[in-house]
Each structure stands twice: as C-alpha cells, then as structure tokens.
Structure 1
Amino acid sequence: MNKRRMLQVIAFLIIMVFVFQAGVFAYAKVASTSKEGLEDSVGSSSTVLQSEVVQRTYDQFLKEFDVQEAYRKQIEQLVEGGYSRTDVSIAYDFLYQNFGTIDDWNEMLEAKATGKTWEDLFIQYDVKHPEFIPRNFDSGELEILMQIEGATPDDIMIADRLSFVTGKPFGDLLNEKLKAGQWGNIFVRESVLYSGNSFPRVQLTEEEVYKYIQNGLLSEQQVTHAFVLAQKLGESPKVVISKLEQGISEELIMAQSYMEKYGE
C-alpha cells in the first residue's frame, strides 16, 4: 500500500467515540408491613431509583463528553423548555460524532418533539449534510504540517473537519489552535458540539475484514463501516455486523443503541 493510500485509510478510520457506561443500582425499603404502606414504599423506592440512575447517567454523559460550560447551560435551558434529558443527550451524542452545530441540535429536538423517530432523524441529517471527506494531503504538504511546532496528527484532522463544517480556512483554524493550546473555545465560538483534542482510532486488520466477508453478505467497505459504527456506539463489531447482515440499517442500529444507553 503506497503512502498516500495509507494516509487516506488512516484518515477514514479516525473517528470520534466515547464509550458510555451507566451504573446499575439496587434500592429497596419497606416503610411498613401493611399492604398500603408496602405499595407506597415500593413506589417511592422506584422513583428514587429512577431519579438516581437518570442523574448518574447524565453526570457520566457530561464527564465522558467533557461538555463545555456553555453547552451545559444550553442543556439545562432545553430541559427547562420541556425536552427530556434522554432526547437532549441522544441528539448531542449523534451530533458530537458528526461535528454538528447548536442549530442542528435545536432543529433535531424540535423535529423529535413532533413524533419523528430517531432513525428518521438520522437519515434526514445525513441527507441534508454532505459526507465529510478528508482532504487529500500530498506527502510533501503533510510532512511540512507535521514539522510545525506543537501540531499533532489529531490537530490536523480536527482542523480539516472543522474547516469542512464552518467553511473557514484550514490553516487559520490550525494556527488559532496552536496559539490557544486547546480546541474547546474554538468549538464554542463556532457553535460546534465537540470538545476533544484527539480522535480515537479504530483498529482493524485485514484478517478481521476477511473473516467477515466470507459469507458474502457484506462488502469490505461495509465491514469497515461496521467497525467504525461499533466504536462510535461502544458496541461489539460482531454485534453490529450481525445486525447489518440481517438488513438492519445503520440509522436504526444507532437509534437502538442510543435508546439503550440514555433511555430513562
């Protein structure tokens, strides 16, 4: 594989993902031995349990995504406006993976409130927004960029993606980050729902691809997409591939995973 092809493959496989895990808690308390007292106690305990789980789920969400203060305030405003934390979190998670904006966030939540499914909303988003294609850096240009003091491969990829979303020059964004030291304030200024300074990588070998294309149900590209999707969702690639082989769409797989992750 030549150097340019290798760079394209690496760029394609670099994705944003944060594995989210919610704790499981047990809570029980009997206030009295009477039937009425027992029912009241069970109902109260159930409410407390649900409240605790929802709060811990939300706290973990904020931590895993390192949600900036500006977006935390936005979340509270959305919840106070009547949207559930579940819907707010699902929309944020999906858009975070796609460098979506606050406008996309509000639009998605408004559409969800009309009764549309997450699957439909994800499809509509993909139709409306052009697919990001990493710029084709030639070897000389990439070598020069890597020699810039303080610049990392992640900075280059983030600047490329942010340039695609905002329309602002790649070089200007990269230079701004190098001066600031962090991307956080730049994301907030551009109203982009992202906060990281690095992109986790998907590890995928030729042997793994070969293993999953043997039955002829998926192509090499589909298997690659499955591994990327699995890492985004924190799912097993085997599980995601099995669903794709059954004909389940990527959008429905995402919807099911997010509901399981954030559902109240």
Structure 2
Amino acid sequence: MSDDPRTSVNPLVDLQTHKPHSARFWDYLLGGKDHYPADQALGELMKDEFEGAVDLARSTRAFLGRTVRYLTAEKGYRQFLDVGTGLPTADNTHEVAQRAAPESRIVYVDNDPIVLAHARALLNSTPEGDTDYVDADLNDVDTVIAAASETLDLDQPVVLMLMAVIGHVTDPAEAIALVQNYMYRLAPGSALVMCTTLSSPEIDAANRAYAESGAEPYVASSAETMLAMAEGLIIPEPGLGPINRWHPEEAGADPDTQQYGYIAYKPDGSEHGVS
C-alpha cells in the first residue's frame, strides 16, 4: 500500500480533484503538501483577493494551539470534540492536549474522504489517553454526539472546537442553532472554542470568489451572529475579537487578523474549568 494517503482512498470514491476543496485549500495556505492543482489555484486566487489569507490561516492554527494548551494545562479539561478538523498538520488538537495531559481524549469529526484517508495520522495517542475519528457531517449533530460518546464521557465537560468551519453553514440562523444544539448536548462546565472570519466588504468579496471557484461556499459572520452562537454561555476576557489578541505569546507581535473568536463556557455553578 502506498504511504501517500491521497492514493489510499477507496478507489470508488470520486475525490473530484479537478475542483478545489476546503480542507486541501487550507492545507495549501498552511504550506502543506496534500493538495491538488485546483486547490493551489484557489489559494493563489484568494491571496490576490485578500492579501491576509495566509496570515489568517496561520493565525487560526496558532489560536488552536494556544486555546488547547490553556484549556488543558490551566483549566483542567481532558476531553475535546474537534468538529471539521480538516487535514492534519503540525500540532493537532490531540498532540497539543496530550503533551500537556497525556490522559486527554480527543474525537475528530470530518466527512471528507481525503481527511478519512489521513485518519491513521490522527489516530495515534498516548497510552494513557485516546484519539478517535468520526466520519460525519457537522450538521448531523445526532450522529456526531452518538459516535463521540464511544470515546468521550459526555457526562463530564467537553471542549467543542469549531475552528474556521461554521461558515460552511451559510444561513446565520442555522449556524446559531447548530452551535447551540451542540452545546446543549454537552455537560455543564463544557467549553466552546469558536473562530471564523468577521464579515467585511473585502472578506465577503473573497468568499464570493471562493464559492465561484466550485468550492463549498463559506460565509463570514457578523459579530452579533458569533455572540449569538454563545447565547447562555459565559465569554470571559478578552471576549470576542481578533484571535491573535487572545492570550498572545508575544504581545503585539502580529497585526490584527480578520479571523475572530473566543472561548465560551457552559455554566456549571462554579469557576470556569474543571480542575
């Protein structure tokens, strides 16, 4: 069997390599190697449409690392549900979490055959912890939660990771309802890590070009929509804002990104965190 995950996919599955795909396009922006010419062409188009495209992708990966380290090392979380994980790169959720707490358990969710082919790269774990992959659509909450419960103890707090994926739910009301549905299913004390692009004329024009390329449409959110997703949750400082401002490792090191986000906590009658 080839060591290249792209060639180990079920041959009956049409990868539609002539069309750009969000996970492969993101991989290209991050400097990966698991993409095709159509994805590269879209990446170059997005760079032309929005000069901050690469910085936005990199800032999202950095935000993932900082939030997972913080929630694991500082707040005591040991369970993560990463929905819309995309292709693996360096420092995935399970690697960051288990580096801080080897007993951490992580479930990844995606429904792309390329990502599924890479699942073996995700399905490694420390002996003390566990890592699993669920092949499901983020809109199918029942399936995701049922499958995640085989690895995670849903009676205990879970961190829901929605990293640059909620924009694929293009109706704002549906996106709000979807996030609230997920958080309703999780135990008190659970946390939400959310980030997506903040709507602006420049971002919206880039997203239109993105959709016109044949890729699955992605829409930016308003600040009001992002906050509505966390209705009933507690968003501590620094609140909603550019993700590079969320506990930066070097203050003022990076210009503000148009990728906005926050951590929000489901109330449990105690201080935030499970430690």
Q: Normalization by structure 1: what TM-score?
A: 0.23
* Richer in strand (by share): 2
Higher RCO (CA-CA < 8 Å; seq separation 6+):
1
Q: Normalization by structure 2: what TM-score?
A: 0.23
Instruction: Indicate the structure (1 or 2) with the bigger Cα radius of gyration.
Output: 1
